[in-house]
Chains A and B, each alone.
Chain A
C-alpha cells in the first residue's frame, strides 16, 4: 500500500495542479458539517461543565439563600472524598460485580445470537432491546416486585434453604447488583453482538484444522476478534452503572447507597452545591482513570 501511495510523487509528473477556489471550498466543508454538533456540545456540555467546575470551588459556607462566592476552595475535594469514601468505593464495587455477572451472561448470549441463532437472530435482538421500550424507573420498580419479601423468588430461595426463614433479597447489596446487571446488560450485549456477528466462522474452522481445541479456538481467535465489541460494551456498561443511583435508591437502603445517591441528595436535598459538584468531578476523574488504565491494557494484543 505504501508503494502505491508514493507512485505519483516518483512518476516525474509536474507538481500537483494549482489549488482552485473549488478545492479550497471543499477543504472547509468538513468543518462546516461539524458546526451544528460542535455548537450543541459547546452550549450544553462545555459551558455547564465549566459552570459545574467553578461550583465545585465555591465557598462551602455559602448557601442558595445567601449566595455562593468563588473562593477557589480546593478543600471541597478532600472533604467530600473523606466524608463519602464508602459510597464512592461501593459504586465501583457494585458496578464491577454487576459487570462480571453481565459478562458471564452477556458474552454467551451475544455469541449465541450472532453465530447460532439463524433465523431467530432478529427476534432475539428485539428481546434484548425490548425492555428499553419501557422506562428505566418502571423496570427497576418491577425488580422491586420480583425481589420483594413475599415474592415467588424469595419464597423459592427460602424453600431450598438458600435464604434463612427471615432472609430477604430486597434492601441487600445483591438486589442492587442484580438491578444494575439487568438494567445495563443491553449496553454490553449489543456492541459485543456487533463484533461477534462479523466473526467469520471459517476462521474458527481454520483454527480447528490447525490443532486448536474449542477452548483454544475461543481463547486465540474468537476472543481477540471480539475485543473491540468487548471493550466498547464493557465501557458502555461500566460507566453508567458506576454513576447510577436509581437501583440503590429503589432496591437498596442507605446502607447500599452509591455515589450517585450522594450527589443526588447534595444537589436536591441538602442543597450543598459545592460538595455535589466536587463529588461529580471526583466520580468523573475516577471513571476516566479506570477507563484509561483499561484501554491501555486492552488496547494491546495480550489482554488476558
Chain B
C-alpha cells in the first residue's frame, strides 16, 4: 500500500496536542519536502517526539491536520499509514529472529516471497549473515540497524526516526550518522529525524527545525540557522553565543547602530532581527579573536576589552573566558593553528570581531546578557 501511491510533501497544518492542561505541541504548521532529510531539534519536553508520534499515528492530534500529498492521514490508524518509525528503544521483537523482524511489515501486508527483499535490506545496513540471530544477541549499533532495515523495507513515504542514535556511544553515533545520511540519499525517502543533539541534526539534515515549548523557533538549513539564529533560544541551543544586551540607537546606511554598555557598535541591517528598542548583540565564540591591546585590532573590526578569567585547552582549540568591565564573561574560541598568541589567565586582552559576523536579536527589556558556559563539544571547535 505504501509504494503505489505517489508520495508528496508531508505537511503539518495547525497541529496541536494537549495533555490535560499541558500543551505539548502548539499550533504547529510546517512543510517537509518530499525526499528531504528533516530534523526536529529541541530539548526534552519541547514536543518534538509528540509531533513525530502524531505523524506516525501513535498519538491522536487534539486538532490540526497531517497531510501527505493532498491526503489528510491524521484520522488513519498507524497500521494504515504509509509511514514507518525507527523507535528510540528500537522495539525489536524479541521472539523473532533478525530475518523475521525485518520481514514483519511485508508479511503483515500479505506479501509471500520476502526472502530477496529481506536479504537486500540486510545488506544495505551491512548485516548480511545475521538472519538467524535473535535481537538480544546483537550489539546496540547492530540492533539500531535492524530497526532501520525493518522500517525501510516497507518503502514508506516518510521514515520517522525517534532519537535513533541516542543509545549509542559517541564514536558509533558518528559512524551511524554518516551511514544514515548515505542510506537516505540512496533510497530517496523523506526522513524526519527527532533529536536533542544539535550536532547530529546539523550533520545529517537538509533542514532543521528548532523546537521550543511546542512551537518551532526557527526553521532552515543548518548553516543558515547557525550563522544567523532567529531567537536567543536558538542562538544558545544550537552551539553557543555571546549575547550582549543593548539598544538600537539608529542606522547608518546599510548598518544598524547599537549602543551597549556605553560603547557603540554596528551590525549590517541584513543581519538584524530587530531595528529598534532593546536588542541582543550576538557573536559566536569562534568569530571572536583575541589581541593584546586595542591598537592591534585590525581596522573595520569592533572590540571589547576585558581580563582573561579562564583558559581551557581542548586540543583543536583553546577556549577562553574574557571577563568584561561589567562582569559578563565572553566565550572566545581560538583555533590551535600554531600562529595565534596564547593568553594566560589574568592577562588583559581585547576581543574583536568583524561586524559582518555579528547579529542582532530582539530582546525583552528586562533581559540581561546571555552567554553560555563552555561546553565539552562546542560546534565551532569540534572535528
Chain A interface (Cβ < 8 Å from any Cβ of B) = 1, 200, 202-203, 205-213, 216, 220-221, 224-225, 227, 301
| Cα separation A209 to B108 with both chains bound (whole Å) | 11
Per a CB cutoff under 8 Å, which of B79, B93, B150, B151 touches A213? B79
Q: Which residues of B contact A1 (CB under 8 A)?
A: 137
Query: B147 to nearest A CB, angstroms?
Result: 9
| Cα separation A225 to B135 with both chains bound (whole Å) | 14
Per a CB cutoff under 8 Å, which of B57, B84, B93, B108 touches A216? B108
Per a CB cutoff under 8 Å, which of A202, A212, A213 touches B91? A202
Contacting pair A206 B79 (CB below 8 A): no
Interface string of B38-63 (1 = CB under 8 A from A): 00000000000000000011100000
Contacting pair A225 B137 (CB below 8 A): no
| Cα separation A205 to B78 with both chains bound (whole Å) | 8
Chain B interface (Cβ < 8 Å from any Cβ of A) = 1, 56-58, 77-79, 83-85, 87, 89, 91-95, 104-105, 108-109, 137, 150-151, 154
Query: A166 to nearest B CB, angstroms?
Result: 52
Q: Which residues of B contact A202 (CB under 8 A)?
A: 87, 89, 91
Q: Which residues of B contact A200 (CB under 8 A)?
A: 89, 91
Q: Total contacts A to B, CB within 8 angstroms?
A: 65
Q: Which residues of A contact B109 (CB under 8 A)?
A: 211
Query: B232 to nearest A CB, angstroms?
Result: 36
Q: Which residues of A contact B89 (CB under 8 A)?
A: 200, 202
Query: Given A1-B137, A216-B108, are A209 and B93 also a contact pair (CB < 8 Å)?
Result: no
Contacting pair B137 A209 (CB below 8 A): no
Query: Given A205-B58, A205-B78, are A211 and B87 also a contact pair (CB < 8 Å)?
Result: no
Beyond A208-B58, A211-B105, A212-B104, 5 additional pairs, beta carbon < 8 A: A200-B91, A205-B78, A209-B84, A210-B151, A211-B79
Q: Which residues of B contact A211 (CB under 8 A)?
A: 1, 79, 105, 108-109, 154
Query: Given A1-B137, A208-B58, are A225 and B95 also a contact pair (CB < 8 Å)?
Result: yes
Contacting pair A208 B95 (CB below 8 A): no
Nearest to A2 among chain B residues (CB) is: B137
Per a CB cutoff under 8 Å, which of A207, A209, A227, A301 touches B56? A209
| Cα separation A216 to B78 with both chains bound (whole Å) | 13
Contacting pair A203 B93 (CB below 8 A): yes
Query: B69 to nearest A CB, angstroms?
Result: 19
Sample (6) of A-B pairs whose CB atoms are under 8 Å apart: A200-B91, A205-B91, A208-B58, A211-B108, A221-B95, A227-B95
Nearest to A205 among chain B residues (CB) is: B58
| Cα separation A235 to B226 with both chains bound (whole Å) | 64
| Cα separation A207 to B77 with both chains bound (whole Å) | 12
Per a CB cutoff under 8 Å, which of B57, B77, B83, B91 touches A206? B91
Most buried by B among A211, A213, A225: A211
- Please name the 6 residue pairs, one residue from A and one from B, whose CB atoms are nearest each other, closest first: A206-B91, A210-B105, A211-B108, A208-B78, A202-B91, A212-B108
Q: Which residues of A contact B57 (CB under 8 A)?
A: 208-209
Query: Given A202-B87, A202-B89, are A210 and B95 also a contact pair (CB < 8 Å)?
Result: no
| Cα separation A212 to B1 with both chains bound (whole Å) | 13
Query: A277 to nearest B CB, angstroms?
Result: 43
Q: Which residues of A contact B94 (CB under 8 A)?
A: 203, 225
Q: Which residues of A contact B150 (CB under 8 A)?
A: 210
| Cα separation A279 to B1 with both chains bound (whole Å) | 61
Q: Which residues of A contact B104 (CB under 8 A)?
A: 207, 210, 212, 220
| Cα separation A245 to B66 with both chains bound (whole Å) | 62
Q: Which residues of A contact B95 (CB under 8 A)?
A: 221, 224-225, 227, 301
Q: Which residues of A contact B93 (CB under 8 A)?
A: 203, 206-207, 221
Q: Which residues of A contact B154 (CB under 8 A)?
A: 210-211
Nearest to A202 among chain B residues (CB) is: B91
Query: A215 to nearest B CB, angstroms?
Result: 10
Q: Which residues of B contact A212 (CB under 8 A)?
A: 79, 104, 108
Q: Which residues of A contact B58 (CB under 8 A)?
A: 205, 208-209
Q: Which residues of B contact A210 (CB under 8 A)?
A: 79, 84, 104-105, 108, 150-151, 154
Nearest to B105 among chain A residues (CB) is: A210
Query: B273 to nearest A CB, angstroms?
Result: 40
Q: Which residues of A contact B151 (CB under 8 A)?
A: 209-210
Nearest to A212 among chain B residues (CB) is: B108
| Cα separation A225 to B151 with both chains bound (whole Å) | 21
| Cα separation A200 to B91 with both chains bound (whole Å) | 8
Contacting pair A206 B87 (CB below 8 A): yes
Query: A94 to nearest B CB, angstroms?
Result: 33
| Cα separation A178 to B77 with both chains bound (whole Å) | 40
Query: Given A220-B108, A221-B93, A301-B95, are A208 and B87 also a contact pair (CB < 8 Å)?
Result: no
Query: B346 to nearest A CB, angstroms?
Result: 52
| Cα separation A257 to B136 with both chains bound (whole Å) | 50
Per a CB cutoff under 8 Å, which of B1, B79, B92, B137 touches A208? B79
